[in-house]
């Protein structure tokens, strides 16, 4: 199972049976939603977006600005020039329609594993002591929502506790019991996982991403990132570029065969 539910949003009229795809993905623990303009106002994180070819330019600025990977759904063979243009815009892949449902599900699963928050990939969750009081759940939900919306802030536990109407010891204890990590460790993992997604899905520089996720020093950011993921931000960016080049070459081979 996933640690938290991955979410896939679909802006596509080309799928013959979106409902059936949603059922198959739900069996894999993935939530699917069909969306239309305007963008839904909820703040839930989206992990992957499928967009019709004709709608790409409409949705691209919104999702790329948030570092969310996009798969483009196309109706016909694309020329080499069009494919180059699509990848230069920032999509991670395209899928030619019509497509077998099982293939589409497998492609979505593959991209979720590669592009989404690595914390979702842990298949085993250790036993944890979960507080029974609903107020404990409410407090931690509020804490996580606040932290997610203010990850770039210079976090001070005493200030955070006051804002949430509790004290430092209670907050830290309940957070560790519920989440399994201390608050600072959780915030660091979130900052770095968002940085990873931005390195993969945007053209922002390493320094820009460093500041965006709340680090004031690029050297400290690179050190923390390498310690967490085993490779530096620049090494990850290079590997992603190589992967996209391989995808392009593969697509060119399919087109020319």
Domain boundary among 75, 95, 122: 122
Q: Are residues 145 and 170 in the same domain?
A: yes
Domain boundary among 100, 122, 144: 122
The tens place of each residue's pLDDT in the chain, 257 residues long, gives: 454 677 888 887 766 666 777 788 887 778 888 765 555 555 457 888 888 888 888 888 778 767 788 888 888 788 888 888 888 788 888 888 887 777 788 888 877 766 655 444 433 333 333 333 344 457 887 888 788 878 888 888 998 888 888 889 989 988 888 778 889 988 988 889 888 888 888 888 999 999 988 899 999 999 999 988 888 999 988 888 887 777 667 666 655 65
Task: Give the pTM.
Answer: 0.49
Helix, strand, or coil here: 49?
Answer: strand
Question: Domain range for residue 170?
Answer: 134-237
CATH number at residue 161: 1.10.10.60
| Angle CA 239–245–251, to nearest 5 | 140
Dig out the tokens for 15 from the structure: 């799928």
Question: Is 250 among the domain residues?
Answer: no
Q: Are 182 and 148 in contact (CB under 8 A)?
A: no
Q: 66, 1, 62, 55: which is closest to 27 by C-alpha?
A: 1
Q: Are residues 169 and 231 in the same domain?
A: yes
Q: Are residues 103 and 146 in the same domain?
A: no
H-helix or E-strand spanning residue 139: helix 134-149
Q: Are residues 141 and 77 in the same domain?
A: no
Q: Are residues 13 and 79 in the same domain?
A: yes
Question: Is 163 among the domain residues?
Answer: yes
C-alpha separations of 37 from 51, 62, 116 in Å? 12, 11, 24
Q: Are residues 186 and 99 in the same domain?
A: no
Q: Are residues 118 and 206 in the same domain?
A: no
Q: Are residues 141 and 99 in the same domain?
A: no
Question: Is 198 among the domain residues?
Answer: yes
Close Cβ partners of 75 (under 8 Å, ≥ 6 residues apart)? 14, 53, 96, 97
Q: Are residues 227 and 187 in the same domain?
A: yes
Question: Is 251 among the domain residues?
Answer: no
Domains of the chain: total: 2
Q: Are 199 and 209 in contact (CB under 8 A)?
A: yes
Q: Are residues 149 and 55 in the same domain?
A: no
Q: Are residues 64 and 27 in the same domain?
A: yes
C-alpha separations of 229 from 106, 110, 155 in Å? 25, 19, 23
pLDDT value at residue 251? 63
Domain boundary among 92, 122, 152: 122
Close Cβ partners of 244 (under 8 Å, ≥ 6 residues apart)? 87, 92
Question: Is 246 among the domain residues?
Answer: no
CATH number at residue 92: 3.40.50.2300
pLDDT value at residue 222? 94
Q: Are residues 118 and 148 in the same domain?
A: no
pLDDT value at residue 246? 72
């Amino acid at each position: 199972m996933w640690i938290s539910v991955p979410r896939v949003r679909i802006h596509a009229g080309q799928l013959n049976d979106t409902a059936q795809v949603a059922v198959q993905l739900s069996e894999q623990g993935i939530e699917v939603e069909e969306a239309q303009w305007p963008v839904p106002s909820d703040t839930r994180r989206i992990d992957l977006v499928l967009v019709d070819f004709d709608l790409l330019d409409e949705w691209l600025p919104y999702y790329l600005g948030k570092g969310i990977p996009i798969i483009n759904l196309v109706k016909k063979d694309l020329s080499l020039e069009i494919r180059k243009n699509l990848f230069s815009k920032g999509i991670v892949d395209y899928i030619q329609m019509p497509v077998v449902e099982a293939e589409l599900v497998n492609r979505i699963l593959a991209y979720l594993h590669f592009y989404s928050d690595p914390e979702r990939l842990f298949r085993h969750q250790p036993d944890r002591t979960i507080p029974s009081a609903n107020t404990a759940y409410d407090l931690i939900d509020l804490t996580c929502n606040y932290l997610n919306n203010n990850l770039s802030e210079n976090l001070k536990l005493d200030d955070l506790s006051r804002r949430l109407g509790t004290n430092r010891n209670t907050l830290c204890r309940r957070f560790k019991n519920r989440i399994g990590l201390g608050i600072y460790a959780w915030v660091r993992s979130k900052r770095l996982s968002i940085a990873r997604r931005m390195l993969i899905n945007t053209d922002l520089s390493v320094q820009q991403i460093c500041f965006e996720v709340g680090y004031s020093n690029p050297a400290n950011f690179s050190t923390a990132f390498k310690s967490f993921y085993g490779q530096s931000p620049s090494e990850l960016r290079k590997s992603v570029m190589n992967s996209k080049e391989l995808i392009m070459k593969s697509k060119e081979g399919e087109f020319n065969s």
